[in-house]
Amino acid sequence: MNALPQNTQRRLQKIPQNSSVWEGDRRPLGSISEHFESDAGMDGECVIWVDGTEGTVRGMEIVPAHMGLEAVVRTLLRAIESPHHPATPVRPQKIVVRDRQLQFFLRGALQGLDINIEYFAELPLIDQLFASFEEFGSSKPPALPAPYEPVLEKIAYQIWETEPWAYLLDRDIIALKIEDCEIETIYVCVMGNLGTEFGVLLYRSEESLKQFRQAAIEEESPESLEKAFLAQNCWFLNYEEEDEAEEDWSSEEFTEVKPFFGSLHPFEGMRAFLDAEEAEIVYLALTALLKFCGDYSDKLMLDPIPEITKTYRIRPSQKTKSQKATKVEVCSLPGLTAELLGMEDEGANLLPNIKEIEIPIQDDFIPDGSLITMGKIPWDLLGFITIQKKTYYQTLNQDPIGEGLPSIIIQTSRPKAKSLIEIIKDAGGLKAICFNPGNDPFSGEIYDLGMLQTQNGNLYIFSEYSRDSTPHAKALQRWQQSCAETKGYCSLIISMGVTGASRGNPQPKDMLAVFETQAITGAELGMGTLQLMPQFEFE
């Protein structure tokens, strides 16, 4: 058995020792492997060391299953000398493992470090940690009651294939009156005419529809927009890309989609599931909408849409004794459409002032050849990223909100990524991420500038998003909605790998820094519309 070199022992002996007890083990990766791009794959193992006193992970490494016990020692030494942030170097008083062979191996390898190595049949903290990995999401209620799942998914795919957003604008509201429904009128809004968010909103009140529309037009602060977003009173059908978290985030086009349903209410917030009663109402509403669009697609393409009223008799989605059909009256609302259009016109007349500001704005921050993407990092995946030893982590110590953390990802080469990280660290860290309108007076183009604000007040432009570009508008709308859900809590992730196999789809191992921060508006920085000004150099 190899012992530690004498100089290594002396170096480790200089590290303070406390009374903590650590748990250590190596476990099969199993389902955790999907979060890592590793040669180990499903057959790999996770070596982990946990401080049982503090309840924190000090070190973790993914290794091939055939690798010897030396890998456990290597991870342990890193946990002692260079633990995951925010832990500090320390020697434990005692180590417990559940493998006799590993116990004897560690006793030999750690001689002279005054660390007791004991055997325990169970390791509660590590057991709990791995159980939480495997049970992630299992406690959530089903998105749809089992009997309704096939029928609602079928109608959702039929709507996707019919593409009502190809001719219905988001201001073209359709009213539904369902027989024996406690909600007198459901107001239907189809999203996706601009190629942004595809779906159907089923408002349970006209007031809610108008309130959110007004808030969106006024482009208020993220806090105000989030308040309006959560104050909506509606059911929704949306579509997302299959395996969204693992796909190439740079792709702007849908390939395969998956429908998902949910509800928004001022008292409940956003709920990603429907109960049986709600599922039946949504089924009747979507079926009637689909029939209406099929019968009157030619008239629905007109602008403005004329008054159209049609009553359908729709059989229940589930078998009942009577199988009585339900009457659903569907009608267009040209009056309400005109009112919403008037709200948009009023908002367009409230043009922001163009200001000259003294805040230093730097437009050469992003290295040439970098990829910039906007997305959402699932919370469990973020947990893996931030405990990697090589990943710098600026945390706000906020509790997870929503389905994931909205993130701007800058992917470049390793040296350039490290340079960006040092620039931000030297500036005191990242203070905020904001988008502010800009104007090119020569072309007349309006765009949104993505900017990073550091703690020393500097602003760095990371991207420009043209308002005339459908993919850009789509990405920015998703970002704003995600930030509204998390109350402005977001992050900047700096990644390497732009020239490798993970180009456009960075893996956790590529991510070198996570800066948690807040999303703000340009108005909060005192900025109006920024105007592009030419810079001339004279000799």
Which tokens in the block code for residue 22? Answer: 């650590």
Helix ranges (H only) for 222-370 are 222-230, 276-300, 334-349
Query: What is the β-pairing status of strands 257-265 and 234-241?
Result: antiparallel
Mapped onto helix, strand or coil, the DSSP state of residue 269 is strand
pLDDT band (50, 70, 90) for residue 225: low
Give the pLDDT of residue 251.
38
Tell me what pLDDT residue 472 has: 72
- pLDDT tens-digit series, residues 277-286: 999 999 999 9
- Which two structure tokens, joined as six digits, stand for 27? 């476990």
What Cα–Cα distance (Å) separates residue 502 from each residue in 35, 61, 220, 390, 514?
A: 13, 20, 37, 18, 18
Could you state, in order of their start, the residue ranges of all structural domains in the chain? Answer: 6-134, 149-349, 361-531
pLDDT on residue 42: 53
Of 87-91, 340-344, 465-469, 518-522, highest mean pLDDT: 87-91
Identify the helix (H) or strand (E) that includes residue 490. strand 489-495
Name the pairing type of β-strands 326-332 and 116-119: unpaired
Question: 514-535 pLDDT, tens per residue?
Answer: 999 999 887 777 766 666 554 4
Q: For residues 462-483, give the mean pLDDT.
A: 80
What's the confidence (pLDDT) of residue 357? 43
**Which residues, other chains included, contact 243 with Cβ-Cβ below 8 Å and sequence gap of 6+?**
none
SS3 for 451-476 is: EEEECCCCEEEEEEEECCCHHHHHHH
Q: Would you say how long the chain is, in residues?
A: 539
Q: Which of 50-54, 341-345, 424-428 has the lowest mean pLDDT?
A: 341-345
Contacts 24+ apart (CB under 8 A), 505-508: 505/246, 505/247, 505/248, 505/249, 505/250, 506/409, 506/411, 507/36, 507/37, 508/35, 508/36, 508/37, 508/381, 508/384, 508/385, 508/388
Banded pLDDT at 465 (limits 50, 70, 90): confident
Picking from 85-94, 155-164, 413-422, 528-537, which range would have the lowest pLDDT averaged per residue?
A: 528-537
Contact 259, 272 (CB under 8 A): no
Tell me the CB-side half-sphere exposure of residue 186, using CA atoms within 13 A: 28
pLDDT tens track for 377-409? 888 788 878 777 788 999 988 888 888 899 999
Unique residue bearing structure tokens 């030297």: 426
Residues 6 or more apart whose Cβ sits within 8 Å of residue 138: none
What does residue 301 show for φ and ψ, rounded to 5 degrees? -85, -10
For the segment 214-231, the average pLDDT, to the nearest whole number, is 67
- Percent over 70 (pLDDT), the chain: 81
Q: How far apart, in whole angstroms, are the C-alpha atoms of residue 327 and residue 532?
A: 57
What lies within 8 Å, CB to CB, of 130 at 6+ separation is 27
Residue 121 CA to residue 100 CA, distance in Å, equals: 9
Task: Read off the pLDDT band of 72 (50, 70, 90).
Answer: very high
Q: What is the pLDDT of residues 358-381, one digit of tens each?
A: 455 777 788 888 889 888 888 878
CATH number of 6-134, picked from 3.40.50, 3.30.310, 3.30.420, 1.10.600: 3.30.420
Q: Are 74 and 60 in contact (CB under 8 A)?
A: no
Helix (H) or strand (E) holding 250: none
DSSP state of 51: E
Q: What is the pLDDT of residue 31?
A: 57
Check pLDDT > 90 for residue 24.
yes
Which residues neighbour 112 within 8 Å (Cβ) at sequence distance 6 or greater? 4, 9, 13
Highest-confidence segment of 226-230, 420-424, 496-500? 420-424
Mean pLDDT estimate for the chain: 82
- Helix axis angle for 70-81 and 100-109, nearest 10°, is 60
pLDDT at 509: 81
Q: Using alpha carbons, list the distances in angstroms from residue 444 to 352, 436, 440, 441.
A: 15, 16, 5, 5
- Indicate whether 40 pLDDT > 70: no
The residue-averaged pLDDT of 425-429 equals: 94
Closest to 62 measured CA to CA, from 70, 73, 71: 71
Beta bridge partners of 234: 203, 264
Checking DSSP bridges between strand 257-265 and strand 269-271, what pairing results, if any? antiparallel
* pLDDT tens digits, 242-291: 544 333 333 334 347 889 999 988 878 788 889 999 999 999 999 999 99
Decide if pLDDT at 414 tops 50. Answer: yes
**Considering the chain, what percentage of its residues have pLDDT values greater than 90?**
40
pLDDT tens digits, 287-337: 999 999 999 998 998 878 999 999 999 998 887 666 789 999 999 999 998
Name the pLDDT band for 419 (thresholds 50, 70, 90): very high
